[in-house]
Amino acid sequence: MTDRISAYARAVFELAQAEGNLETVERELFTIARAFATSNELRDSLSNPQMPLDRKQGLIDDLLGGRASTLTVGLVSFVVGQGRAAEFSEMVDRFVALAAESRSKAVAEIRSAVPLEPSVVDRLAAELSRVTGKSLEVKTIVDPAVVGGIVARVGDTVIDGSVARRLAKLREVLKKS
């Protein structure tokens, strides 16, 4: 499965690059993949093999029509039409990493419960770059499950400074008492 996901990511990368639309498609697919990953209803609907393809395509058109480039809508429709909706988020993550790599950068994903000010994102990016020794492209995600604080990921390195994690640790300590 990993090879197939990588092949899809590479194909999307090459197509977007050939069309001269790499940054737009990257931004749009990243946003769509985050919505897909956080919405069980959307993910279940588009992954459901019992749902007719024309209904899935209608759902995609309703959600994306006029809000995303024709190329992005076509790519999402293709992946869903091929029955690969369950792999969509992972495929997009690999695509985003390929796009960043083409610019000699790594992807830093920063999750927070609320939108972060650009100056805060810049400071976090600088510190993550210093710690990892990599030039970074930052992708921010608003995720209410974080509760407060942030969770940052660069490749396999995760820095979890979230309130949710601290609460989980506190629960474990209280259980042991």
For the segment 48-69, what is each residue's pLDDT rounded down to a tens digit? Answer: 999 999 999 999 999 998 899 9
Minimal CA–CA distance to 28: which of 65, 73, 77, 59? 73
pLDDT, one tens digit per residue, over 103-129 is: 999 999 999 999 999 999 999 999 999
Give yes or no for a contact between 8 and 115, defined as CB atoms under 8 angstroms apart.
no
pTM of the model: 0.83
φ and ψ at residue 82, rounded to 5 degrees: -85, 0
Kindly tell me the number of DSSP H helices and DSSP E strands found in the chain.
Answer: 8, 4
